[in-house]
C-alpha cells in the first residue's frame, strides 16, 4: 500500500473586535479609527474563507478513506477500483471549488486592507505610526504567503486528479503509481510548510492589531 501524506490543513482566521466607544473628533474620525474600520472590514470579508475550512477537512477525510479502500483492492476488483476512483475525483473537484471560494475571500480582504496605507501617513504619533506599519508589513506577508499556499494546494489537487485517472487505467504499473504518489507527497509537504507559515503570520497579525487598538486608546473588546 502506498502512503499519501495528505494531512488536514486548517487555516487560522483573523480576530474580530467590537468597538465599544468610538472617540471621533469634531472633524470626523481619526486616522486610527479609520484604520480600525478598514481592518474590521477585512475580517468580515474573510468570513467565507473561514466557512470553507470544516467542509474542506471533511472532503479531505472522505477522499483519504476512498484512497485507502482503493489501495486495499487487487486488480481482480478493477471495476470497483474505477468506481471508487471516480468517486474520489468528484471529491477532489469539490475541494477545488472550496479552495476557489477561499481564495476569492482572501483577495477581497486584501483589496480592502490596502486602504490603511493612506491613513497610516496621517498618524501624528510616531510610535503608533510604526506599529501601524508593522500591521501592514505583517498582513502583506500573510497575503503573499496565502498566495503561495493557494498555488501549492492547486498543484496538489492537479496531481490528485491525475492519480485517480491513472487508477482507472488497467495497464498502470506499480512503478508509475509509486512515482506519482511520491510527487503528491512532496507537493503536500510544500502545502504544509506554507500553511504553517500562514497560520503563524495570522497569529502574529492578530496580536499586533489588538496591541495597536489598545495603544491608540480605541476601547475595544475582542469577540
Which CATH number characterizes residue 166's domain? 1.20.120.570
pLDDT digits (tens, 9 = 90+) for 36-53: 999 999 999 999 999 999
Residue 17 lies in a domain: no
Residue 103 lies in a domain: yes
Label residue 133 exposed, middle or buried (CB < 10 Å: 0-12, 13-18, 19+): middle
Residue 9 lies in a domain: no
Rounded CA separation 80/50 (Å): 36
Label residue 102 exposed, middle or buried (CB < 10 Å: 0-12, 13-18, 19+): buried
Radius of gyration of the chain (CA): 23
Say whether 11 sits in a helix, a strand or coil.
Answer: coil
Residue 43 lies in a domain: yes
Residue 222's pLDDT band (cuts 50, 70, 90): low
Asked if 128 and 32 touch (Cβ cutoff 8 Å), the reply is yes
Mean pLDDT score, 13-26: 56
Q: Is residue 19 pLDDT above 90, yes or no? A: no
Q: CA angle, corner 183, sides to 182 and 184, nearest 5?
A: 90
Sign of CA dihedral 33, 47, 223, 199: negative
Q: Which residue has the higher pLDDT, 112 or 74?
A: 112
Residue 21 lies in a domain: no
The pTM score is 0.90
Q: CA dist 222 to 25, 86, 167, Å? A: 24, 45, 50
Phi-psi category of residue 141: left, alpha or beta, with phi > 0 → left and psi -120 to 50 → alpha:
alpha
Q: Is residue 4 pLDDT above 70, yes or no? A: no
> Among 26-30, 94-98, 142-146, which stretch is predicted with the lowest mean pLDDT?
26-30
Q: Is residue 137 pLDDT above 70, yes or no? A: yes
Q: Is residue 92 pLDDT above 90, yes or no? A: yes
Q: Which residue has the higher pLDDT, 12 or 157?
A: 157
Residue 119 lies in a domain: yes
Mean pLDDT score, 12-19: 66
Residue 223 lies in a domain: no
Q: Give the per-residue pLDDT at 2.
A: 58
Q: CA dist 2 to 64, 136, 181, Å? A: 12, 44, 7
Q: Give the per-residue pLDDT at 183.
A: 96
Q: How confident is the prediction for the chain on average, in pLDDT?
A: 90
Residue 159 lies in a domain: yes
Question: How many domains is the chain partitioned into structurally?
Answer: 1
Asked if 213 and 29 touch (Cβ cutoff 8 Å), the reply is no
Instruction: Please give the share of the chain, as a percent, with pLDDT higher than 70.
Output: 89
Mean pLDDT score, 118-137: 96
The parent domain of residue 180 ranges over 28-217
Amino acid at each position: 500500500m502506498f502512503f499519501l501524506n495528505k494531512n488536514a490543513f486548517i487555516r487560522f482566521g483573523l480576530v474580530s473586535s467590537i468597538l465599544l466607544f468610538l472617540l471621533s473628533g469634531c472633524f470626523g474620525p481619526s486616522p486610527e479609527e479609520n484604520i480600525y474600520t478598514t481592518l474590521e472590514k477585512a475580517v468580515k470579508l474573510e468570513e467565507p474563507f473561514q466557512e470553507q475550512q470544516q467542509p474542506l477537512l471533511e472532503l479531505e477525510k472522505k477522499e483519504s478513506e476512498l484512497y485507502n479502500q482503493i489501495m486495499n483492492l487487487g486488480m481482480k476488483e478493477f471495476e470497483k477500483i474505477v468506481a471508487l476512483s471516480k468517486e474520489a475525483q468528484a471529491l477532489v473537484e469539490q475541494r477545488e471549488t472550496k479552495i476557489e471560494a477561499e481564495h476569492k475571500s482572501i483577495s477581497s480582504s486584501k483589496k480592502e486592507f490596502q486602504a490603511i496605507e493612506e491613513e497610516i501617513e496621517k498618524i501624528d504619533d510616531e510610535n503608533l505610526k510604526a506599529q501601524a506599519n508593522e500591521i501592514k508589513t505583517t498582513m502583506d506577508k500573510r497575503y503573499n504567503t496565502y498566495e503561495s499556499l493557494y498555488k501549492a494546494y492547486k498543484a496538489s489537487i492537479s496531481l490528485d486528479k491525475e492519480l485517480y485517472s491513472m487508477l482507472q487505467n488497467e495497464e498502470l504499473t506499480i512503478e508509475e503509481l509509486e512515482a506519482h504518489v511520491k510527487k503528491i507527497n512532496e507537493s503536500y509537504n510544500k502545502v504544509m510548510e506554507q500553511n504553517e507559515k500562514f497560520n503563524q503570520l495570522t497569529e502574529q497579525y492578530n496580536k499586533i492589531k489588538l496591541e495597536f487598538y489598545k495603544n491608540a486608546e480605541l476601547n475595544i473588546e475582542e469577540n
